[in-house]
């Protein structure tokens, strides 16, 4: 599996995201967005199997998170993205990458058919509380059909965002997405139940939505950072629970492994 | 009619306007105005005006679906009482406007054109407030009139007025010519008046040296050829003022000081820097080389940051800076410039480093200050809020996690806050086959400026920070950082570095091009540059302004001519501006041109070494150590608990975890021991520990610091040593290698130069000498080299005729190599039954402590460090940690054992019982000394009981005692023999320490 990580314009999680994909056996290429825009890169986007939009502060979150980058990608790369998805490619968006995919209309995307690049959702601020870097727990909705969550049930991850509250046009739309298993990741409490309460849910998303898949299951976006839990010693309890944490693989890796594993 | 399109974006009803909610809450808590609702809008002015269909497309794109709505012109809306509009003044960096322009151009598929621009601003619609109160909120909270323009309109006025189409366009002028400044014939007084008028901050001897140099150089053939005469041009004079400024030249640290102390012969010190800083490092370096056969110091003092060896692939680079004066004027912009500015230092060390982590630390006046504030000073709470937001935005947007963060509060920081920002980088050992730490600008290499454009922002920053703050401080002294422009520049430069496209790089910080080119020119031996080629934000700058502007996000590079086309092409592709301004030469001079005209010609030896030697008188009179009256021990545990709760909630000890979490601390995925640790993840780590790369190498580094400003009230020697000792003890407690610790010294001092308003200058100078002596002694004893540092020597404010001077403050920052990050240790005991061992002796030392501040004590003995006696104990502890004997370790610091025992219990999520009568003491020590004294050199270790014998063997000859046991309960019990001092649920103490349920 060959993974493309576009870089530049204030994105900044490329190093750990590349490490994550490499740790699970993928071949990773970091390519500057200006090279993709100018058709200067050796490969086209559709020559990869996976596109990973990493976290960061593209254009400083100016105007709104992911907005400027999404506008630029739509202007320069929309056809390439269609080609990638048309050939069965997969897309992952983490944090700012997720915001960008939502702005592009790739998430949650149309109920049926190829991507139409129509935004149908927004990621917005918590009503009162802003950016916070803290570890929380997320769980996978068992109904989800996402390729990125196979074999994943729940994991600890840090959350680091201001604009991450997932909103759609109406509660009916949200229910539809829920029923179809597209609300793939949820913020969960100590009992494993999706929660809307801070701090377990850092942004106040209804139904505890932390990550969303498209209807094909090939595009996933999530707000928290699985790319920040690659080693047991990333975990904040490592000093007190060393043996227990070292006995299992670090929780973030399973998502990257699932994503590069063929159907 | 203005050729401008105005677009407004607002939150739709049904969704929370979170910014409005937060502003309303802040107006209520900070200003006591019982305001109703606040709604906010983002406004974008686009010029030239967009056709209606384009304007509608932009509006719809910016609003997006669902949450926000937009309108061209103005969103008509329900009633409110007052509208407050806040936008930048002309020429101020507007990063949001810049990003919006990129989006608009891509959306419309066409450029806005050369005269086009997008300006971002905000509107606040306030309800339930009078116009007068709204105006107060506008000027004290919503806007900073130093950089922003504000309009306040009552609803009726707003409703009838047309939407505001004014944009802060700079009125452009034709370029101004360089002018000659006549110095011949001026006497000392006239020269000094000229220096004050031009904000040169030059001393009289310096002005005389400059006058005489140019008078003598009139017949110099090169000068005659260039058409220059017996007086300097304004370009030359400004360039000298920048280069010779205290900020750039560190004149005080290079001065000859006569130090007098009662009962001793006067001592002449020729340069504190050479003797105590560089001399110390040379001595430590020699000791390392003798011990290990080669040194791990890679590059110290001559570059932008210090470099030490770490792994086979990477060196570590570290620099800490201060940005005090700009933060006093514009806390947000000043502090942001502090962090993004110090990023450029490790970045521009050698051929460049990737940035790994940031550190910050602030000294403020008390946030709850209710006393009077002299006019011209901002309330410390406002400074604090702005500084945090600036460094948060600067660091987070740059994608650099923070490793260390701290705050210290004292009334004397009302006049000038201290804003420390630092950055760690990793430098590849080699790039394109060359050692990365070596710069090699050669004659013929082109001078290329990369990054942002030049404007009037930041003109005179270097000379300004070298002067005390007055009510007339210039607006231009403030720069606004633009982290995204800088990040794009860094990404580009790292590519250029890997491709070997340049031979040297340095940062444009203080002094702008005059400093960067002047400094880089030393290696090849000369340079010429043509300022008319420099890209400007707007026309109308004089040549000298182009030369000294401190507009941000700029680097200067030496690019070999053969690489120039490739370098410029890559820059263009990456959307980064790069401009060829001239070339390095071997001429021995810095030649400044404006087109065909030479407007400055300064021989490098005069530019760099022509300033007259400074002499300073230092007189030390030790304050009398009046003994503090003893206080009766708490009569009951309840009384002790109340004391503990009150003490732990003090500004200097309370938990600032919630605030600190608004800073990213783990982007890059290299953070192992995070800034906040423990069962509740709310206890500050003694040291943070990071990996260096995702390359399978588990070698890491630890960061910690120590700072004790109030110890200077007793003796700056003790202040300096306590800081270094704590920084070193903390990295040792985290499991760092005891033989791979380096330190940075950042001095912030009140002015030690005599003046009519500064009668105790000789005392301040003596404090500087004593801090430096103490620093040298402890670094040599510990084998800790000083690899970089900085001094800020004018931390006084004179406002309304009253002088407020900070306490002399030395921040010691430690960086140490950790062999295996998995072996790092924190404060967390893992299980009930573990024993608590106190290493080190306790003395009756309350002077300058947090307890002394709480009690209002001025006397007592200040904690004094005995470096040579302590070091063997530290080595023994480090060996014990390295061998895996120790579960948890903690360095006792400010707040003494009470604070430390609480932190360990809290971090462990366990109960803890400790008997302080078991502690090893030196001399008579009462309950206050044991519980609250801050004797340096002490470490607390948690160990499994079965390992006690092995630990005791490892600590043979080192004073230590088992003082407590962790248990499964949730209570902290501290006693003195049979006398209980504290007996409280840890949670109850934690609530006080976090000030839960109290306005912060």
pLDDT at residue B461, rounded to an integer: 58
**Is the per-residue pLDDT at B477 higher than 60?**
no
For residue A60, give the nearest of B65, B484, B663 by CB distance.
B484
**Is the per-residue pLDDT at B523 higher than 80?**
yes
- CA of A88 vs chain B CAs: smallest distance (Å): 28
**Is the per-residue pLDDT at B471 higher than 50?**
no
For residue B573, give the nearest of A20, A38, A240 by CB distance.
A38
Whether residues A10 and B488 touch (CB distance < 8 A) is answered with yes
Q: Which residue has the tokens 């406007």?
A: B97
- The percent of residues above 90 in pLDDT, for chain B, comes to 81
For residue B917, with 0-12 CB atoms within 10 Å meaning exposed, 13-18 middle and 19 or more buried, which class applies? middle
**Is the per-residue pLDDT at B469 higher than 70?**
no
**Is the per-residue pLDDT at B153 higher than 70?**
yes
- CA of A94 vs chain B CAs: smallest distance (Å): 12
Straight-line distance from the first to the last Cα atom of chain B, in angstroms, rounded to the nearest whole number: 49
Report the residue of A110, A133, A229 to disrupt the B interface, i.e. the one with the largest count of B CBs within 10 Å.
Answer: A133
pLDDT at residue B463, rounded to an integer: 56
pLDDT at residue B459, rounded to an integer: 78
For residue B15, give the nearest of A62, A124, A238 by CB distance.
A124
Q: How many domains does chain A have?
A: 1
Radius of gyration, alpha carbons of chain A? 17
Report the residue of A57, A107, A173 to disrupt the B interface, i.e. the one with the largest count of B CBs within 10 Å.
Answer: A57
Provide, as residue numbers in chain B, all residues whose Cβ is less than 8 Å from the Cβ of A32. 491, 495, 574
User: Torsion angle of alpha carbons B641, B644, B649, B655, nearest 10°?
Assistant: -100
Provide, as residue numbers in chain B, all residues whose Cβ is less than 8 Å from the Cβ of A75. 106-107, 109
- Residues in chain A where the model's pLDDT stays below 70: none
**Is the per-residue pLDDT at B7 higher than 80?**
yes
Whether residues A10 and B826 touch (CB distance < 8 A) is answered with no
pLDDT at residue B476, rounded to an integer: 56
Question: Smallest Cα–Cα separation from A216: which of A32, A121, A91?
Answer: A91
Name the closest residue on chain A to residue B103, using Cα atoms. Answer: A68
The average pLDDT across B179-207 equals: 92
- Please name the residues in contact with B786: beta carbons below 8 A apart, sequence gap of 6 or more: B277, B280, B281, B300, B742, B743, B744, B745, B775, B779
The answer to whether the beta carbons of residues B438 and B532 sit under 8 Å apart is: no
Q: What is the pLDDT of residues B838-851, one digit of tens each?
A: 999 999 999 999 99
Report the residue of A21, A23, A35, A71 to disrupt the B interface, i.e. the one with the largest count of B CBs within 10 Å.
Answer: A71
Residue B188 neighbours by CB distance under 10 Å: 12
CATH code: domain of residue A129? 3.40.50.880
**Is the per-residue pLDDT at B21 higher than 50?**
yes
Domains of chain B: 5-160 (3.30.1280.10), 643-654+827-1000 (3.90.650.10)
Cα–Cα distance measured from residue B187 to residue B211, given in angstroms and rounded to the nearest whole number:
10
Whether residues A133 and B679 touch (CB distance < 8 A) is answered with no
Provide, as residue numbers in chain B, all residues whose Cβ is less than 8 Å from the Cβ of A11. 399
Q: What is the pLDDT of residues B155-183, one digit of tens each?
A: 999 999 999 999 988 877 787 889 999 99
Q: Predicted confidence band at B623 (pLDDT cuts at 50, 70, 90)?
A: confident
pLDDT at residue B301, rounded to an integer: 87
Q: What is the pLDDT of residues B736-789, one digit of tens each?
A: 999 999 999 999 999 999 887 788 999 999 999 999 999 999 999 999 999 999
- CA of A146 vs chain B CAs: smallest distance (Å): 25
Range with lowest mean pLDDT among A214-218, B756-760, B863-867, B879-883 = B756-760
ipTM of the complex: 0.97
pLDDT at residue B596, rounded to an integer: 92
Range of the domain at A98: 2-259
Cα–Cα distance measured from residue A67 to residue A102, given in angstroms and rounded to the nearest whole number:
9
pLDDT at residue B474, rounded to an integer: 40
DSSP assignment of B836-856 equals EEEES-B----TTSHHHHHHT
Q: Predicted confidence band at B100 (pLDDT cuts at 50, 70, 90)?
A: very high
Straight-line distance from the first to the last Cα atom of chain A, in angstroms, rounded to the nearest whole number: 12
Whether residues B16 and A127 touch (CB distance < 8 A) is answered with yes
Report the residue of B43, B64, B481 to disrupt the A interface, i.e. the one with the largest count of A CBs within 10 Å.
Answer: B64
- CA of A14 vs chain B CAs: smallest distance (Å): 8
For residue B694, give the nearest of A11, A19, A35 by CB distance.
A19
For residue A59, give the nearest of B102, B399, B491 by CB distance.
B102
pLDDT at residue B798, rounded to an integer: 77
Size of interface A-B (CB pairs under 8 A): 182
**Is the per-residue pLDDT at B470 higher than 50?**
no
Whether residues B99 and A60 touch (CB distance < 8 A) is answered with yes
pLDDT at residue B464, rounded to an integer: 54
Q: What are the DSSP E strand ranges found in B609-723? A: 615-620, 671-673, 676-677, 683-684, 688-691, 700-706
For residue B778, with 0-12 CB atoms within 10 Å meaning exposed, 13-18 middle and 19 or more buried, which class applies? buried
When comparing pLDDT for B146 and B214, which is higher? B214
What's chain B's average pLDDT?
93
Cα distances (Å, whole numbers) of residue A219 to A188, A222, B158, B470:
22, 10, 47, 58
Q: Predicted confidence band at B811 (pLDDT cuts at 50, 70, 90)?
A: very high
Cα distances (Å, whole numbers) of residue B146 to B92, B329, B510, B549:
10, 8, 20, 18
Name the closest residue on chain A to residue B576, using Cα atoms. Answer: A9
**Is the per-residue pLDDT at B472 higher than 70?**
no
Provide, as residue numbers in chain B, all residues whose Cβ is less than 8 Å from the Cβ of A120. 65
Q: What is the pLDDT of residues B377-396, one digit of tens each?
A: 889 999 999 999 999 999 99
Cα distances (Å, whole numbers) of residue A55 to A9, A93, A229, B384:
12, 8, 14, 29
pLDDT at residue B997, rounded to an integer: 63
């Amino acid at each position: 599996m060959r993974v493309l990580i576009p870089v530049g314009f204030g994105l900044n999680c490329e190093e750990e995201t590349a490490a994550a994909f490499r740790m699970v056996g993928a071949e990773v290429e970091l390519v500057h967005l200006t090279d993709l825009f100018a058709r200067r890169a050796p490969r086209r986007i559709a020559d990869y199997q996976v596109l990973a939009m990493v976290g960061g502060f593209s254009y400083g979150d100016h105007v709104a998170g992911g907005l400027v980058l999404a506008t630029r990608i739509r202007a320069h790369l929309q056809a390439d993205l269609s080609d990638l998805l048309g050939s069965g490619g997969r897309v992952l968006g983490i944090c700012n990458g997720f915001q960008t995919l939502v702005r592009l209309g790739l998430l949650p995307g149309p109920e049926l058919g190829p991507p139409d690049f129509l935004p149908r959702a927004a990621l917005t601020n918590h009503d009162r509380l802003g950016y916070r870097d803290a570890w929380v727990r997320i769980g996978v909705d068992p109904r989800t059909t996402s390729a990125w969550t196979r074999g994943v049930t729940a994991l600890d991850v840090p959350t680091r965002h201001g604009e991450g509250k997932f909103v759609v046009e109406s509660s009916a739309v949200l229910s539809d997405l829920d029923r179809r298993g597209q609300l793939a990741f949820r913020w969960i409490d100590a009992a494993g139940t999706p929660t809307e309460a801070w701090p377990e849910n850092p942004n106040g998303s209804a139904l505890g939505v932390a990550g969303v898949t498209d209807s094909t299951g090939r595009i996933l976006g999530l707000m928290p950072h699985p790319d920040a839990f690659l080693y047991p010693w990333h975990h904040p309890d490592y000093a007190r629970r060393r043996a227990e944490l070292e006995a299992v693989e670090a929780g973030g890796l399973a998502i990257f492994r699932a994503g590069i594993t063929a159907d | 009619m203005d050729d401008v399109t105005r677009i407004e974006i607002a939150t739709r009803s049904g969704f929370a306007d979170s910014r409005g909610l937060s502003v309303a809450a802040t107006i209520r808590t900070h200003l006591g105005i019982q305001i109703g609702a606040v709604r906010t809008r983002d406004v974008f002015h686009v010029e030239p005006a967009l056709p209606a269909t384009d304007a509608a497309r932009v509006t719809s794109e910016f609003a997006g679906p669902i949450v926000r709505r937009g309108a061209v012109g103005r969103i008509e809306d329900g009633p409110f009482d007052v509208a407050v509009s806040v936008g930048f003044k002309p020429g101020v960096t507007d990063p949001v406007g810049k990003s919006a322009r990129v989006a608009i151009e891509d959306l419309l598929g066409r450029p806005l054109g050369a005269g086009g621009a997008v300006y971002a601003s905000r509107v606040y619609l306030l309800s339930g407030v009078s116009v007068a109160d709204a105006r107060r909120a506008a000027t004290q909270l919503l806007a900073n009139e130093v950089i922003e323009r504000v309009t306040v309109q009552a609803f009726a006025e707003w409703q009838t007025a047309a939407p505001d189409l004014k944009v802060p366009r700079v009125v452009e002028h034709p370029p101004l010519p360089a002018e000659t400044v006549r110095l011949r014939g001026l006497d000392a007084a006239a020269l000094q008046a000229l220096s004050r008028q031009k904000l040169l901050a030059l001393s009289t001897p310096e002005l005389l040296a400059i006058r005489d140099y140019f008078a003598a150089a009139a017949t110099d053939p090169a000068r005659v050829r260039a058409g220059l005469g017996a007086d300097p041009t304004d370009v030359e004079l400004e360039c000298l003022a920048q280069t010779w400024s205290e900020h750039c030249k560190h004149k005080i640290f290079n001065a000859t000081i006569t130090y007098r102390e009662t009962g001793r012969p006067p001592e002449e010190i020729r340069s504190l820097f050479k003797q105590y800083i560089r001399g110390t490092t040379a001595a430590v370096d020699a000791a390392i080389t003798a011990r290990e056969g080669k040194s791990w110091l890679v590059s110290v003092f001559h570059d932008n940051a210090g470099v030490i060896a770490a792994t086979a692939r990477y060196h570590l680079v570290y620099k800490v800076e201060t940005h005090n004066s700009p933060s006093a004027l514009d806390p947000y912009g000043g502090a942001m410039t502090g962090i993004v500015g110090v990023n450029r230092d490790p970045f521009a060390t050698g051929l460049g480093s990737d940035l790994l982590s940031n550190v910050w630390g602030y000294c403020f006046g008390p946030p709850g200050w209710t006393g009077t504030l002299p006019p011209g000073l901002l309330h410390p709470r406002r400074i604090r809020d702005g500084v945090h937001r600036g460094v948060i935005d600067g660091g987070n947007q740059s994608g650099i996690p923070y490793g260390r963060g701290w705050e210290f509060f004292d009334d004397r920081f009302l006049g000038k806050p201290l804003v420390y920002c630092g950055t760690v980088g990793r430098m590849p050992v080699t790039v394109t086959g060359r050692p990365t730490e070596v710069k090699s600008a050669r004659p013929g290499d082109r001078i290329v400026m990369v990054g942002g454009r030049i404007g009037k922002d930041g003109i005179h920053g270097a000379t300004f920070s070298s002067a005390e703050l007055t009510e007339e401080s210039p607006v231009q002294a403030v720069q606004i950082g633009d982290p995204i422009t800088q990040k794009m520049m860094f990404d580009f430069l790292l590519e250029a570095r890997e491709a070997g496209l340049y031979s040297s790089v340095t940062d444009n910080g203080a002094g702008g091009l005059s400093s960067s080119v002047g400094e880089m020119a030393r290696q090849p031996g000369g340079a010429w540059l043509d300022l008319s080629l420099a890209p400007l934000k707007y026309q109308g700058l004089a040549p000298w302004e182009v030369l000294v502007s401190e507009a941000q996000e700029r680097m200067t590079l030496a690019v070999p001519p053969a690489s120039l086309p490739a370098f410029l092409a890559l820059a263009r592709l990456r959307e980064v501006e790069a401009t060829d301004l001239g070339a390095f030469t071997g001429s021995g001079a810095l030649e400044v041109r404006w087109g065909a005209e030479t407007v400055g010609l300064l021989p490098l030896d005069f530019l760099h070494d022509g300033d007259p030697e400074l002499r300073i008188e230092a007189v030390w009179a030790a304050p009398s150590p009046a003994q503090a009256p003893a206080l009766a021990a708490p009569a009951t545990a309840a009384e002790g608990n109340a004391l503990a709760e009150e003490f732990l909630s003090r500004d200097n000890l309370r938990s600032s975890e919630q605030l600190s979490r608004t800073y990213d601390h783990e982007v890059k995925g290299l953070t192992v021991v995070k800034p906040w640790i423990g069962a509740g993840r709310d206890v500050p780590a003694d040291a943070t520990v990071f990996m260096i790369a995702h390359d399978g190498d588990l070698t890491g580094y630890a960061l910690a610091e120590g700072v004790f400003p109030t110890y200077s009230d007793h003796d700056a020697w003790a202040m300096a040593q306590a800081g270094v000792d704590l920084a070193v003890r903390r990295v040792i407690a985290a499991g760092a290698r005891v033989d791979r610790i380096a330190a940075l010294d950042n001095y912030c001092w009140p002015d030690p130069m005599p003046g009519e308003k500064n009668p105790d200058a000789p005392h301040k100078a003596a404090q500087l000498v004593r801090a430096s002596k103490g620093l040298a002694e402890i670094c040599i004893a510990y084998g800790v080299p000083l690899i970089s540092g900085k001094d800020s020597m004018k931390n006084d404010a004179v406002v309304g005729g009253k002088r407020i001077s900070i306490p002399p403050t030395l921040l010691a920052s430690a960086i140490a190599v950790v062999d295996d990050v998995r072996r790092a240790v924190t404060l967390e005991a893992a299980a009930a039954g573990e024993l608590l061992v106190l290493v080190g002796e306790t003395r009756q030392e309350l002077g300058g402590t947090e307890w002394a501040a709480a009690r209002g004590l001025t006397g007592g003995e200040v904690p004094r460090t005995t470096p040579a006696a302590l070091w063997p104990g530290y080595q023994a502890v480090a060996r014990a940690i390295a061998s895996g004997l120790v579960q948890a370790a903690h360095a006792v610091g400010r707040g003494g054992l009470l604070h430390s025992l609480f932190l360990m219990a809290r971090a462990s999520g366990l109960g803890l019982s400790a008997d302080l009568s078991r502690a090893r003491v030196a001399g008579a020590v009462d309950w206050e000394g044991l519980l609250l004294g801050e004797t340096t050199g002490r470490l607390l270790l948690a160990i499994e009981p079965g390992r006690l014998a092995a630990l005791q063997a490892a600590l043979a000859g080192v004073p230590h005692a088992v003082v407590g046991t962790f248990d499964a309960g949730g209570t902290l019990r501290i006693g003195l023999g049979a006398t209980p001092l504290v007996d409280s649920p840890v949670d109850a103490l934690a609530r006080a320490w976090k000030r839960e349920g109290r306005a912060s």
